[in-house]
Amino acid sequence: MMGRIAWRNLWRNRTRTGIMVSAIALSYGLMLVLFGIADYSYQEMGDATVAAVGGHVLVHGDGYWDLPTGGQVVGDPKRVRALGEEMPEVEAMAERVMVFGLVSTADATEAVQVMGIRPDEERHFFDPVDQLVEGEFLSGERENGIVLARETAEILGVGIGDRVVVTATDLDGEMTRGLFFVDGLLRSTPGQAGESRAFTSLEDLQRTLGYGEAVTQVGLRLSDDRHRDRIAIALEGHLRAEDLEVLTWDEAVPELVAMIEFDQAFTYIYVLVIMFIVVLGITNTFLMAVMERVREIGLMSALGLTPRRVGSLIVIETMLVTAVSMAIGFGLGLMGHYWMVAYGIDLTMMLGDLEMELAGVSLEMAMIHSHLDPMRWFVGSVVVFVFVCLSAIYPAVKATRLAPAEAMRFYE
């Protein structure tokens, strides 16, 4: 009965109700679209970080990530690989040798991070071929082939087929040199410490540095990022006695995780400010509605409606308005999400080539799309519903305090 009366009351003044519904629906729909865009950005950052650091889970010598030196290696990568193969969550693994050194010619020298990789393994993590601008990527046609960043090649004054000397430290900390031939050129690819990366084959770099079967890192790619902590703990338990360290990607790049958390907090604050403004408007609107219906409320009180039921009538009206508004807003948010998924926003048209680097992670954001996180949408929706319904408290209290006799004489 109260619900039917509340529903009829709402549509007695269609203009006022329409304004309230529009304000809530648009604010709620905008919130959902913002959540989708933000979640897509976080997902892209996470994927870029996994590609840059080499996997969801990383195994390397103890202390390597904090202070990389030539002596911190995985001496028996086959054991790590065997452990990974026993875990169904592990989709792919890659062995790498990564050293900081110098690439030089007779005329110039440049600091680089040299990575020895197996291209077929590495494509499951990050395919450098996508950034190839000239030549081939470790085609095997040249002995000791190396792929340099285009900027590095320009500094050194070399091109495809030219010779360069790579200088780095071996396992004993002694300086060693190797002759390599330029196989290809890439767009800029910064390494962990900001130096440009140079790629060569794993076996060629192991032979040059005298590593034998040892590698710097074994990266593991998982079928689902949510498994990373459990896989890392399991590997750490097996490898604890071997002086190795196991890190998840978020432990490897805490700066990026902190930035994502800060951005999430800012998004919530922004949404709360918007909703607070909407709530103030709704509170004012319902308060004016109460003042317009003073005589009506007085009549209902005189007929035996208790103050508690009068107040509940205002609350029910607010809940109905909120429910209708959120249904419309959800539809708008869902349409906005699917539009962003299908078309997105091309940032290059507005801002040109947008590239950001954080903690050695290159983040290229050419297109902005949307990602739907059901739990986040659900929690946000509950918060909005409660927040808006709270706006009815003051008008409801005001209605309960109206004396019937005085209220009925209000317009006389």
Task: Note the pLDDT of residue 407.
Answer: 53
**C-alpha 223, offset from chain centre:** 17
Range with the poorest average pLDDT among 7-11, 42-46, 379-383: 7-11
Q: Say what the pTM is.
A: 0.73
The dihedral over CA atoms of 264, 270, 274, 277, expressed in degrees to the nearest 10, equals 130
Query: What is the band of 263 on the pLDDT scale with cuts at 50, 70, 90?
Result: confident
Task: Note the pLDDT of residue 301.
Answer: 67
| Length of the chain, in residues | 412
Task: Note the pLDDT of residue 355.
Answer: 54
Provide the mean pLDDT of the chain.
81
Q: Which of 254, 203, 191, 221 is nearest to 59 (CA)?
A: 221
- For the stretch 16-31, pLDDT in tens is 788 888 888 888 898 8
**Mean pLDDT, residues 331-347:** 88
Task: Note the pLDDT of residue 87.
Answer: 92
Task: Note the pLDDT of residue 349.
Answer: 61
Contact assessment for residue 25 and residue 325, using Cβ atoms and an 8 Å cutoff: yes
**Mean pLDDT, residues 47-76:** 82
Task: Note the pLDDT of residue 104.
Answer: 92
Task: Note the pLDDT of residue 16.
Answer: 77
How many Å apart are CA 116 and CA 74, to the nearest integer? Answer: 14
SS3 176: strand
Task: Note the pLDDT of residue 262.
Answer: 83
Contact assessment for residue 50 and residue 249, using Cβ atoms and an 8 Å cutoff: yes
- For the stretch 280-317, pLDDT in tens is 777 777 777 666 666 666 666 666 667 777 777 778 88
Query: What is the band of 70 on the pLDDT scale with cuts at 50, 70, 90?
Result: low
Query: What is the band of 412 on the pLDDT scale with cuts at 50, 70, 90?
Result: very low
- For the stretch 355-385, pLDDT in tens is 555 544 555 556 788 888 898 889 888 888 8
Task: Note the pLDDT of residue 64.
Answer: 81
Helix or strand holding residue 364 (H, E): strand 361-364
Residue 176 has pLDDT above 50, yes or no: yes
The residue type found at 34 is L
What beta strand segments (E) does 4-160 contain? 57-61, 90-104, 109-117, 132-135, 145-149
**Mean pLDDT, residues 230-252:** 87
Helix or strand holding residue 400 (H, E): helix 393-400
| 214 or 412, higher pLDDT | 214
How many Å apart are CA 260 and CA 255, to the nearest integer? Answer: 9
Radius of gyration of the chain from Cα atoms? 32
**How many percent of the chain have pLDDT more than 90?**
22
Q: Which of 99, 101, 98, 103 is nearest to 179 (CA)?
A: 103
Helix or strand holding residue 380 (H, E): helix 374-389
Query: Parallel, antiparallel, or unpaired for β 196-201 and 109-117?
Result: parallel
How many Å apart are CA 342 and CA 335, to the nearest integer? Answer: 11
- For the stretch 341-359, pLDDT in tens is 888 877 666 555 545 555 4
